């Protein structure tokens, strides 16, 4: 229970804390002591070679993720364009072979705005909640959301410009996302209008792909430019209420990214590529509380940390399969 509360607090914006000595298990403490004594030797003899291998290896999980993301969004497009009625609607609300599906954040906005719950909406909520509970909550963000793909490409451009010292990354308080979630919820309830859906990059891009472009794409372009020149992955990290909604589902999800302490050399490669690096606090030297731990609710399960980890300390796992020490 303590770990769940900690995960929720970090997702809502609190910065990860350094664990107190009594919070670190005895087996984990022994590993920390051993790593501290052998770190320099291990880095020089082992890590250097492994980094080279990983740098030249294909980004397996990113390729899989991009393939799934593109396939899902194109399925909407082809179903509409060819009128085959396989997947109707858009990401905010759809029907798959006639079965209702509803984006959880959009459904919440609708319920708050109209103060009612229709049976089709309830079916859609239960279906989507079950799906993303099994797959890990914010998996939606990295494996389905079209804005995530564009933002990831913008991130590559930002890093290239930063390397040439043409831009610099600026960070914001992550609690801003929680405040935005609350503000849009209050606006929906008070105005009777789903305010957030008018500016949601996810919804705008999904509808543009399926039904054609609109003026709202200017807003999406502005966000991407902001991320390239000022703040890396700003919308997903600090603004998007959808990520917070699916993060709440991810708290109890069985699919997690597992960190194995004795394999980790705390080199930080995983945190450099992570969309939400605060979930990888356990990979910081001296902060791993257990021999095995999971990354928490805000993790998008994108797999990038697994791709770049030079020692295999990070991997996908299902909760309940093996005990933490």
pLDDT of res. 57: 62
Going by pLDDT thresholds of 50, 70 and 90, the confidence category of residue 278 is very high
Residue with more model confidence, 312 or 202: 202
Residue with more model confidence, 316 or 45: 316
- For the cut 70, the answer to whether the pLDDT of residue 47 exceeds it is no
Q: Give the chain's length.
A: 325
| Alpha carbons 283 and 269: distance in angstroms, whole number | 10
Q: For residue 33, how many C-alpha atoms fall within 13 Å in the half-sphere facing its CB?
A: 8
Both ends of the chain: CA-CA distance in Å? 16
- For the cut 70, the answer to whether the pLDDT of residue 38 exceeds it is no
Average pLDDT over the chain reads 89
Going by pLDDT thresholds of 50, 70 and 90, the confidence category of residue 52 is low
- For the cut 60, the answer to whether the pLDDT of residue 166 exceeds it is yes
325: helix, strand or coil: coil
pLDDT of res. 252: 84
pLDDT of res. 325: 47
Close Cβ partners of 271 (under 8 Å, ≥ 6 residues apart): 277, 280, 283, 284, 305
- Contact criterion met (CB below 8 Å) for 117 and 124: no
CA dihedral 99, 105, 106, 107 (to 10 degrees): 60
pLDDT of res. 32: 84
Q: What is the pLDDT of residues 130-159, one digit of tens each?
A: 999 998 889 999 999 999 999 999 999 999
* Percent of the chain surpassing pLDDT 70: 91
Tokens of 265: 């050399």
Residue with more model confidence, 52 or 151: 151
Q: Strand ranges (DSSP E) for the chain? A: 87-90, 93-96, 99-102, 255-260, 292-294, 314-318
| Alpha carbons 171 and 179: distance in angstroms, whole number | 16
Q: What is the mean pLDDT of residues 266-272?
A: 89
Q: What is the mean pLDDT of residues 89-97?
A: 91
Torsion over CA: 275, 129, 12, 16 (sign): negative
- Contact criterion met (CB below 8 Å) for 302 and 34: no
Neighbours of 60 (CB within 10 A): 11
- For the cut 90, the answer to whether the pLDDT of residue 34 exceeds it is no
pLDDT of res. 318: 87
- For the cut 90, the answer to whether the pLDDT of residue 244 exceeds it is yes
- For the cut 60, the answer to whether the pLDDT of residue 86 exceeds it is yes
Q: What is the Rg, in whole angstroms, of the alpha carbon atoms belonging to the chain?
A: 21
Quick one: which of 243, 312, 311, 310 has its CA closest to 279?
243
């Amino acid at each position: 229970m303590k770990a769940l509360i900690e995960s929720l607090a970090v997702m809502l914006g609190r910065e990860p804390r350094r664990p107190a000595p009594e919070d670190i298990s005895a087996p984990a403490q022994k590993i920390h002591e051993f790593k501290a004594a052998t770190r320099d030797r291990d880095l020089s003899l082992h890590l250097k070679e492994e980094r080279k291998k990983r740098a030249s290896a294909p980004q397996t999980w990113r390729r899989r993720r991009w393939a799934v993301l593109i396939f899902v969004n194109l399925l909407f497009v082809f179903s509409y364009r060819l009128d085959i009625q396989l997947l109707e609607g858009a990401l905010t609300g759809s029907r798959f072979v006639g079965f209702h599906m509803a984006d959880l954040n959009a459904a919440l906005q609708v319920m708050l705005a109209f103060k009612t719950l229709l049976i089709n909406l309830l079916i859609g909520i239960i279906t989507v909640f079950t799906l993303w509970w099994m797959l890990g909550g914010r998996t939606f963000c990295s494996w389905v959301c079209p804005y995530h793909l564009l933002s990831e490409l913008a991130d590559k451009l930002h890093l290239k410009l930063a390397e040439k010292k043409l831009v610099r990354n600026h960070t914001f308080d992550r609690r801003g996302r929680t405040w935005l979630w609350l503000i849009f919820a209050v606006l929906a309830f008070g105005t009777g209008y789903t305010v957030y859906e008018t500016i949601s990059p996810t919804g705008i891009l999904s509808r543009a792909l399926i039904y054609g472009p609109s003026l709202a794409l200017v807003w999406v372009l502005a966000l991407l430019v902001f991320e390239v020149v000022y703040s890396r992955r700003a919308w997903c990290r600090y603004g998007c209420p959808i990520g917070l909604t699916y993060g709440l589902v991810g708290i109890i999800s069985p699919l997690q990214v597992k960190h194995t302490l004795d394999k980790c050399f705390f080199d930080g490669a995983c945190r450099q590529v992570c969309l939400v690096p605060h979930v990888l606090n356990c990979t910081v030297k001296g902060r791993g509380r257990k021999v095995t731990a999971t990354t928490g609710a805000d993790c998008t399960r994108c797999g990038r940390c697994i791709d770049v980890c030079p020692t295999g300390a990070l991997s996908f796992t299902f909760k309940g399969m093996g005990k933490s020490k």
